[in-house]
Amino acid sequence: MTIQRGVSLYSYQQSQFLKELMLEDQIREVGRNLGGADGIELIDEMSLRYPDPGDDFRRQWFAWMEAYGTKPVAMDVGMDVLQFRDHVMTHEECADRLRQDIRLAKSLGFANVRVLSVVPVDILVSALPLAEQLDIRLGKEIHQPMRLEGREVGDILDVIERTGTRHLGIVPDLGIFQFRPSEVLLSWLERRGAQPTASLASVDLALAIHRGESPFDLTAVHRHTAGNLRSDLGRFLTTGESAPELLDVFEGVKRYTDERVTDPEAIDYRTVAEALMLSRTSAETLRQIAPHVIHVHGKFNNMSEVPGAPGRYQEISIDYDAAIGALKAGGFDGYINSEYEGQRYFQDRGREDLMDEVDQVRRHQELLRRLIAA
Protein backbone atom coordinates (compact mmCIF):
# COMPACT_ATOMS: atom_id res chain seq x y z
CA MET A 1 0.00 0.00 0.00
CA THR A 2 1.16 3.47 -0.73
CA ILE A 3 -0.09 6.90 0.17
CA GLN A 4 0.64 9.45 -2.51
CA ARG A 5 0.56 13.23 -2.34
CA GLY A 6 -1.30 15.68 -4.51
CA VAL A 7 -2.95 19.09 -4.39
CA SER A 8 -6.50 20.23 -4.91
CA LEU A 9 -6.19 23.36 -7.03
CA TYR A 10 -8.98 24.74 -4.80
CA SER A 11 -5.97 25.72 -2.68
CA TYR A 12 -5.02 28.32 -5.31
CA GLN A 13 -8.51 29.86 -5.67
CA GLN A 14 -7.36 33.32 -4.61
CA SER A 15 -4.26 33.34 -6.83
CA GLN A 16 -6.49 32.40 -9.74
CA PHE A 17 -9.11 35.02 -8.85
CA LEU A 18 -6.38 37.67 -8.79
CA LYS A 19 -4.83 36.22 -12.00
CA GLU A 20 -1.52 35.64 -10.26
CA LEU A 21 -1.45 31.91 -11.02
CA MET A 22 -3.45 30.49 -13.90
CA LEU A 23 -4.12 26.77 -14.41
CA GLU A 24 -0.76 25.93 -16.02
CA ASP A 25 1.12 27.82 -13.28
CA GLN A 26 -0.76 25.84 -10.64
CA ILE A 27 0.00 22.50 -12.29
CA ARG A 28 3.68 23.46 -12.71
CA GLU A 29 3.87 24.37 -9.00
CA VAL A 30 2.52 20.94 -8.01
CA GLY A 31 4.74 19.00 -10.41
CA ARG A 32 7.97 20.89 -9.87
CA ASN A 33 8.05 22.32 -6.34
CA LEU A 34 6.42 19.87 -3.95
CA GLY A 35 9.06 17.18 -3.59
CA GLY A 36 7.39 14.35 -5.46
CA ALA A 37 3.73 15.27 -5.22
CA ASP A 38 2.07 14.50 -8.54
CA GLY A 39 -1.70 14.37 -7.98
CA ILE A 40 -3.99 17.01 -9.46
CA GLU A 41 -7.50 17.52 -8.15
CA LEU A 42 -9.67 20.38 -9.36
CA ILE A 43 -13.18 21.79 -9.21
CA ASP A 44 -14.70 21.71 -12.67
CA GLU A 45 -16.48 25.06 -12.29
CA MET A 46 -13.36 26.77 -10.95
CA SER A 47 -10.57 25.50 -13.19
CA LEU A 48 -12.32 24.75 -16.50
CA ARG A 49 -14.42 26.54 -19.10
CA TYR A 50 -17.55 24.65 -18.07
CA PRO A 51 -19.33 22.48 -19.18
CA ASP A 52 -17.14 21.85 -22.24
CA PRO A 53 -13.59 23.21 -22.22
CA GLY A 54 -13.11 22.05 -25.83
CA ASP A 55 -10.72 19.75 -27.67
CA ASP A 56 -7.90 22.29 -27.91
CA PHE A 57 -7.95 22.56 -24.13
CA ARG A 58 -7.91 18.77 -23.76
CA ARG A 59 -4.78 18.51 -25.88
CA GLN A 60 -3.18 21.28 -23.82
CA TRP A 61 -4.20 19.59 -20.59
CA PHE A 62 -2.57 16.26 -21.45
CA ALA A 63 0.54 18.10 -22.65
CA TRP A 64 0.77 19.82 -19.25
CA MET A 65 0.35 16.51 -17.42
CA GLU A 66 3.27 15.11 -19.42
CA ALA A 67 5.45 18.21 -19.17
CA TYR A 68 5.10 18.54 -15.40
CA GLY A 69 4.86 14.84 -14.50
CA THR A 70 1.40 15.19 -12.93
CA LYS A 71 -1.67 12.92 -12.90
CA PRO A 72 -5.37 13.82 -13.03
CA VAL A 73 -6.55 12.27 -9.75
CA ALA A 74 -9.95 13.77 -9.02
CA MET A 75 -12.50 16.19 -10.41
CA ASP A 76 -14.87 17.77 -7.86
CA VAL A 77 -18.38 18.44 -9.11
CA GLY A 78 -21.28 20.49 -7.77
CA MET A 79 -25.05 20.25 -7.76
CA ASP A 80 -27.00 23.49 -8.16
CA VAL A 81 -30.59 22.38 -8.03
CA LEU A 82 -32.10 25.74 -9.09
CA GLN A 83 -30.32 25.82 -12.49
CA PHE A 84 -33.61 25.80 -14.41
CA ARG A 85 -35.17 28.41 -12.13
CA ASP A 86 -38.76 27.31 -12.96
CA HIS A 87 -38.53 24.15 -10.83
CA VAL A 88 -36.26 22.43 -8.34
CA MET A 89 -34.24 19.74 -10.12
CA THR A 90 -35.41 16.19 -9.53
CA HIS A 91 -32.95 13.54 -8.41
CA GLU A 92 -32.91 12.19 -11.97
CA GLU A 93 -32.03 15.63 -13.36
CA CYS A 94 -29.22 15.80 -10.81
CA ALA A 95 -28.06 12.36 -11.95
CA ASP A 96 -28.04 13.67 -15.55
CA ARG A 97 -25.78 16.52 -14.47
CA LEU A 98 -23.54 14.05 -12.66
CA ARG A 99 -23.36 11.85 -15.77
CA GLN A 100 -22.35 14.92 -17.79
CA ASP A 101 -19.60 15.62 -15.24
CA ILE A 102 -18.42 11.99 -15.24
CA ARG A 103 -18.00 12.17 -19.03
CA LEU A 104 -16.10 15.44 -18.68
CA ALA A 105 -13.81 13.91 -16.03
CA LYS A 106 -13.15 10.90 -18.26
CA SER A 107 -12.28 13.13 -21.20
CA LEU A 108 -9.53 14.72 -19.09
CA GLY A 109 -8.17 11.44 -17.77
CA PHE A 110 -9.38 11.76 -14.18
CA ALA A 111 -9.65 8.54 -12.15
CA ASN A 112 -12.12 9.84 -9.54
CA VAL A 113 -15.12 12.15 -9.32
CA ARG A 114 -15.86 13.71 -5.93
CA VAL A 115 -19.51 14.51 -5.22
CA LEU A 116 -20.71 16.80 -2.43
CA SER A 117 -21.52 15.41 1.01
CA VAL A 118 -25.17 16.40 0.59
CA VAL A 119 -25.88 14.45 -2.63
CA PRO A 120 -28.66 11.90 -1.98
CA VAL A 121 -27.39 8.35 -2.42
CA ASP A 122 -29.99 7.40 -5.07
CA ILE A 123 -28.42 9.98 -7.40
CA LEU A 124 -25.09 8.18 -7.06
CA VAL A 125 -26.75 4.81 -7.63
CA SER A 126 -28.37 6.17 -10.79
CA ALA A 127 -25.01 7.39 -12.18
CA LEU A 128 -23.03 4.33 -11.04
CA PRO A 129 -23.48 2.23 -14.21
CA LEU A 130 -21.89 4.98 -16.33
CA ALA A 131 -19.09 5.39 -13.77
CA GLU A 132 -18.40 1.65 -13.94
CA GLN A 133 -18.51 1.63 -17.71
CA LEU A 134 -15.99 4.49 -17.88
CA ASP A 135 -13.94 3.18 -14.93
CA ILE A 136 -14.45 6.35 -12.88
CA ARG A 137 -14.75 5.99 -9.10
CA LEU A 138 -17.38 8.16 -7.38
CA GLY A 139 -16.45 9.43 -3.92
CA LYS A 140 -18.85 11.10 -1.54
CA GLU A 141 -17.17 13.77 0.53
CA ILE A 142 -17.59 13.67 4.30
CA HIS A 143 -17.09 17.21 5.51
CA GLN A 144 -17.19 18.88 8.92
CA PRO A 145 -19.53 18.98 10.87
CA MET A 146 -20.60 15.55 9.51
CA ARG A 147 -18.96 12.52 11.03
CA LEU A 148 -17.81 9.22 9.58
CA GLU A 149 -20.19 7.55 12.02
CA GLY A 150 -23.32 9.04 10.43
CA ARG A 151 -25.86 7.88 7.89
CA GLU A 152 -23.90 9.49 5.01
CA VAL A 153 -21.15 6.86 5.23
CA GLY A 154 -23.54 4.06 6.16
CA ASP A 155 -25.63 4.66 3.00
CA ILE A 156 -22.53 4.34 0.80
CA LEU A 157 -21.28 1.19 2.55
CA ASP A 158 -24.75 -0.36 2.13
CA VAL A 159 -24.66 0.20 -1.64
CA ILE A 160 -21.14 -1.23 -1.85
CA GLU A 161 -22.22 -4.30 0.09
CA ARG A 162 -25.39 -4.80 -1.95
CA THR A 163 -23.81 -4.35 -5.41
CA GLY A 164 -20.17 -5.29 -4.86
CA THR A 165 -19.19 -2.17 -6.84
CA ARG A 166 -15.56 -1.03 -6.80
CA HIS A 167 -16.55 2.38 -8.16
CA LEU A 168 -18.13 4.00 -5.11
CA GLY A 169 -16.61 5.16 -1.85
CA ILE A 170 -15.83 7.95 0.58
CA VAL A 171 -13.71 11.13 0.36
CA PRO A 172 -12.97 12.18 3.93
CA ASP A 173 -12.13 15.87 4.36
CA LEU A 174 -9.62 15.96 7.22
CA GLY A 175 -11.47 18.97 8.65
CA ILE A 176 -13.56 16.29 10.38
CA PHE A 177 -10.53 15.84 12.67
CA GLN A 178 -10.58 19.48 13.70
CA PHE A 179 -10.70 19.77 17.50
CA ARG A 180 -10.55 23.54 18.07
CA PRO A 181 -11.51 26.63 16.03
CA SER A 182 -8.72 27.74 13.71
CA GLU A 183 -6.64 30.70 14.90
CA VAL A 184 -7.21 32.47 11.56
CA LEU A 185 -11.01 32.16 11.87
CA LEU A 186 -10.83 33.59 15.41
CA SER A 187 -8.71 36.54 14.24
CA TRP A 188 -11.23 37.22 11.47
CA LEU A 189 -14.07 37.18 14.02
CA GLU A 190 -12.10 39.55 16.26
CA ARG A 191 -11.71 42.01 13.36
CA ARG A 192 -15.51 41.88 13.18
CA GLY A 193 -15.77 42.87 16.83
CA ALA A 194 -15.47 39.67 18.85
CA GLN A 195 -13.60 40.11 22.13
CA PRO A 196 -10.33 38.18 22.64
CA THR A 197 -11.91 36.59 25.73
CA ALA A 198 -14.59 35.12 23.44
CA SER A 199 -11.87 33.51 21.28
CA LEU A 200 -10.27 32.05 24.40
CA ALA A 201 -13.64 30.76 25.61
CA SER A 202 -14.28 29.18 22.19
CA VAL A 203 -10.97 27.31 22.30
CA ASP A 204 -11.50 26.27 25.94
CA LEU A 205 -14.98 24.96 25.17
CA ALA A 206 -13.77 23.05 22.09
CA LEU A 207 -10.92 21.45 24.04
CA ALA A 208 -13.28 20.52 26.90
CA ILE A 209 -15.59 18.85 24.41
CA HIS A 210 -12.57 17.12 22.81
CA ARG A 211 -11.60 15.68 26.22
CA GLY A 212 -15.14 14.37 26.66
CA GLU A 213 -15.93 17.01 29.29
CA SER A 214 -18.63 18.98 27.49
CA PRO A 215 -20.59 21.14 29.93
CA PHE A 216 -23.79 20.32 28.01
CA ASP A 217 -25.27 17.53 25.89
CA LEU A 218 -24.27 17.84 22.20
CA THR A 219 -26.20 14.92 20.74
CA ALA A 220 -28.60 17.17 18.83
CA VAL A 221 -25.82 19.17 17.17
CA HIS A 222 -24.63 16.42 14.82
CA ARG A 223 -28.01 16.25 13.11
CA HIS A 224 -27.54 19.80 11.75
CA THR A 225 -25.19 21.42 9.24
CA ALA A 226 -22.85 24.17 10.43
CA GLY A 227 -24.79 26.70 8.33
CA ASN A 228 -28.09 25.74 9.96
CA LEU A 229 -26.53 25.82 13.41
CA ARG A 230 -25.17 29.31 12.82
CA SER A 231 -28.46 30.66 11.52
CA ASP A 232 -30.46 28.99 14.30
CA LEU A 233 -28.10 30.44 16.90
CA GLY A 234 -28.71 33.88 15.36
CA ARG A 235 -32.45 33.34 15.71
CA PHE A 236 -32.02 32.18 19.32
CA LEU A 237 -29.97 35.29 20.18
CA THR A 238 -32.53 37.72 18.73
CA THR A 239 -35.82 35.97 19.59
CA GLY A 240 -34.94 33.35 22.22
CA GLU A 241 -36.34 30.69 19.86
CA SER A 242 -34.63 27.87 17.99
CA ALA A 243 -35.18 24.30 16.86
CA PRO A 244 -36.43 22.76 20.16
CA GLU A 245 -33.68 20.12 20.39
CA LEU A 246 -31.02 22.88 20.18
CA LEU A 247 -32.41 25.10 22.95
CA ASP A 248 -30.41 23.41 25.71
CA VAL A 249 -27.18 23.65 23.70
CA PHE A 250 -27.67 27.32 22.85
CA GLU A 251 -28.57 28.15 26.44
CA GLY A 252 -25.43 26.29 27.47
CA VAL A 253 -23.28 28.32 25.06
CA LYS A 254 -24.88 31.53 26.28
CA ARG A 255 -24.19 30.64 29.91
CA TYR A 256 -20.63 29.57 29.10
CA THR A 257 -20.02 32.90 27.31
CA ASP A 258 -21.68 35.04 29.98
CA GLU A 259 -19.36 33.53 32.60
CA ARG A 260 -16.19 34.32 30.60
CA VAL A 261 -16.80 37.43 28.48
CA THR A 262 -17.62 40.91 29.78
CA ASP A 263 -20.81 42.41 28.28
CA PRO A 264 -20.98 39.85 25.46
CA GLU A 265 -22.65 40.76 22.17
CA ALA A 266 -23.99 38.53 19.37
CA ILE A 267 -20.56 38.24 17.71
CA ASP A 268 -19.08 36.96 21.00
CA TYR A 269 -21.73 34.23 21.33
CA ARG A 270 -21.20 33.34 17.69
CA THR A 271 -17.45 33.07 18.28
CA VAL A 272 -17.87 30.78 21.29
CA ALA A 273 -20.41 28.69 19.36
CA GLU A 274 -17.76 27.87 16.73
CA ALA A 275 -16.69 25.20 19.25
CA LEU A 276 -19.92 23.34 18.35
CA MET A 277 -19.22 23.18 14.61
CA LEU A 278 -16.58 20.46 14.86
CA SER A 279 -17.22 16.84 13.88
CA ARG A 280 -15.35 15.01 16.63
CA THR A 281 -15.22 11.94 14.42
CA SER A 282 -13.19 8.89 15.42
CA ALA A 283 -9.84 7.95 13.85
CA GLU A 284 -10.73 4.32 14.51
CA THR A 285 -13.71 4.64 12.16
CA LEU A 286 -11.41 6.02 9.47
CA ARG A 287 -9.08 3.04 9.94
CA GLN A 288 -12.00 0.65 9.52
CA ILE A 289 -13.35 2.24 6.34
CA ALA A 290 -9.93 2.96 4.78
CA PRO A 291 -10.47 0.33 2.04
CA HIS A 292 -13.48 2.37 0.86
CA VAL A 293 -11.66 5.70 0.82
CA ILE A 294 -11.34 6.95 -2.78
CA HIS A 295 -8.99 9.81 -1.96
CA VAL A 296 -8.57 12.30 0.88
CA HIS A 297 -8.97 16.06 1.15
CA GLY A 298 -6.06 17.29 3.26
CA LYS A 299 -8.00 20.29 4.57
CA PHE A 300 -6.09 23.01 6.41
CA ASN A 301 -6.72 26.60 7.46
CA ASN A 302 -3.27 27.70 8.54
CA MET A 303 0.20 26.16 8.48
CA SER A 304 2.46 27.71 11.11
CA GLU A 305 6.06 26.86 11.84
CA VAL A 306 6.60 24.33 14.64
CA PRO A 307 8.23 26.37 17.45
CA GLY A 308 11.94 25.64 17.61
CA ALA A 309 11.90 23.57 14.41
CA PRO A 310 12.66 25.73 11.37
CA GLY A 311 11.27 24.22 8.16
CA ARG A 312 8.71 22.06 9.95
CA TYR A 313 5.07 23.04 9.92
CA GLN A 314 1.87 22.30 11.85
CA GLU A 315 -1.92 22.76 11.62
CA ILE A 316 -2.74 23.46 15.26
CA SER A 317 -6.51 22.92 14.94
CA ILE A 318 -6.63 19.55 13.12
CA ASP A 319 -5.37 16.20 14.45
CA TYR A 320 -3.25 15.21 11.46
CA ASP A 321 -1.28 12.60 13.44
CA ALA A 322 -4.46 10.66 14.23
CA ALA A 323 -5.91 11.00 10.72
CA ILE A 324 -2.81 9.92 8.80
CA GLY A 325 -2.02 7.24 11.35
CA ALA A 326 -5.49 5.77 10.81
CA LEU A 327 -5.14 5.86 7.01
CA LYS A 328 -1.82 4.03 7.24
CA ALA A 329 -3.09 1.48 9.77
CA GLY A 330 -6.15 0.85 7.61
CA GLY A 331 -4.09 0.20 4.48
CA PHE A 332 -5.31 3.22 2.51
CA ASP A 333 -3.92 3.15 -1.02
CA GLY A 334 -4.37 6.48 -2.81
CA TYR A 335 -3.89 10.22 -2.74
CA ILE A 336 -4.05 12.80 0.01
CA ASN A 337 -4.53 16.16 -1.69
CA SER A 338 -3.71 19.44 0.08
CA GLU A 339 -6.84 21.57 0.35
CA TYR A 340 -6.10 25.05 1.70
CA GLU A 341 -9.15 27.02 2.85
CA GLY A 342 -7.82 29.69 5.25
CA GLN A 343 -7.16 32.35 2.60
CA ARG A 344 -10.79 33.52 2.89
CA TYR A 345 -10.18 34.72 6.46
CA PHE A 346 -7.86 37.47 5.18
CA GLN A 347 -9.87 38.80 2.24
CA ASP A 348 -11.55 41.46 4.35
CA ARG A 349 -8.14 43.16 4.41
CA GLY A 350 -5.86 44.80 1.85
CA ARG A 351 -4.03 42.98 -0.89
CA GLU A 352 -0.75 43.25 1.03
CA ASP A 353 -2.30 41.26 3.91
CA LEU A 354 -3.56 38.34 1.81
CA MET A 355 -2.11 34.91 2.48
CA ASP A 356 0.43 33.28 0.17
CA GLU A 357 -1.34 30.13 -1.03
CA VAL A 358 1.77 28.72 -2.70
CA ASP A 359 3.74 28.94 0.54
CA GLN A 360 0.87 27.51 2.60
CA VAL A 361 0.58 24.47 0.32
CA ARG A 362 4.36 23.93 0.35
CA ARG A 363 4.23 23.94 4.16
CA HIS A 364 1.34 21.50 4.19
CA GLN A 365 3.19 19.15 1.85
CA GLU A 366 6.11 19.17 4.32
CA LEU A 367 3.69 17.98 7.02
CA LEU A 368 2.21 15.27 4.77
CA ARG A 369 5.63 14.05 3.65
CA ARG A 370 6.81 13.77 7.24
CA LEU A 371 3.70 12.01 8.58
CA ILE A 372 3.42 9.59 5.65
CA ALA A 373 7.08 8.60 6.10
CA ALA A 374 6.85 8.33 9.90
In the stretch 96-125, what mask flags binding to other proteins with x, by CB under 8 A?
--------------------xxxxx-----
**Binder to other proteins among 33, 36, 49, 240 (CB under 8 A)?**
49
Is 223 a binder of other proteins (CB under 8 A)?
no
**Residue 10 binds other proteins (CB under 8 A):** yes
- From the list 12-20, 66-74, 251-259, 304-312, the region that binds other proteins by CB under 8 A is 12-20
Q: Using the rule CB under 8 A, is 348 a contact of other proteins?
A: yes
Residues 325 to 344: which contact other proteins by CB under 8 A? 344
Q: Name the helix (H) or strand (E) containing 57.
A: helix 55-68
Which residues lie below 8 Å from residue 296, measured CB to CB, with a gap of 6+?
171, 172, 173, 174, 327, 332, 334, 335, 336, 337
Calculate helix-pair angle for 226-239, 247-260, nearest 10 degrees: 70
The one among 83, 133, 163, 304 contacting other proteins by CB under 8 A: 83
Is residue 86 a contact point for other proteins (CB under 8 A)?
Answer: yes
| Minimum CB distance to other proteins smaller for 4 or for 47 | 47
Query: Catalytic positions, please?
Result: 143
Q: Which is nearer to other proteins, 229 or 322 (CB)?
A: 229
> Is residue 80 near other proteins by the rule CB under 8 A?
yes
Task: Return the number of the residue (85 or 211) whose C-beta is nearest other proteins.
Answer: 85
SS (H, E, C) 171-211: EEEHHHHECCCCHHHHHHHHHCCCCHHHHHHHHHHHHHHHC
- Is 263 strand, coil or helix? coil
The answer to whether residue 156 forms part of the interface with other proteins (CB under 8 A) is: no
| Site membership for other proteins, residue 81 (CB under 8 A) | yes
Decide if residue 360 touches other proteins (CB under 8 A): no
Q: Which lies closer to other proteins via its Cβ, residue 49 or residue 255?
A: 49
Closest CB to other proteins among 123 and 136?
Answer: 123
347 touching other proteins, by CB under 8 A: yes
Q: How far apart are the first and last CA of the chain?
A: 15
Q: Which of residues 245-304 bind other proteins (CB under 8 A)?
A: none
Helix (H/G/I), strand (E/B), else coil: 9: helix
Single-letter code of the amino acid located at 268: D
The C-alpha R_g of the chain, in whole angstroms, comes to 21
Residue 78: φ, ψ to 5°? -105, -175
Q: Within 10 A of 1 (CB to CB), how many other CB atoms are there?
A: 11
Q: What φ, ψ does residue 44 adopt, rounded to 5°?
A: -55, -45
E strands, 301-360, are 304-305, 313-314, 334-340
Residues that bind other proteins (CB under 8 A): 10, 13-14, 16-19, 22, 43, 45-47, 49-51, 78-88, 116-120, 227, 344, 347-351
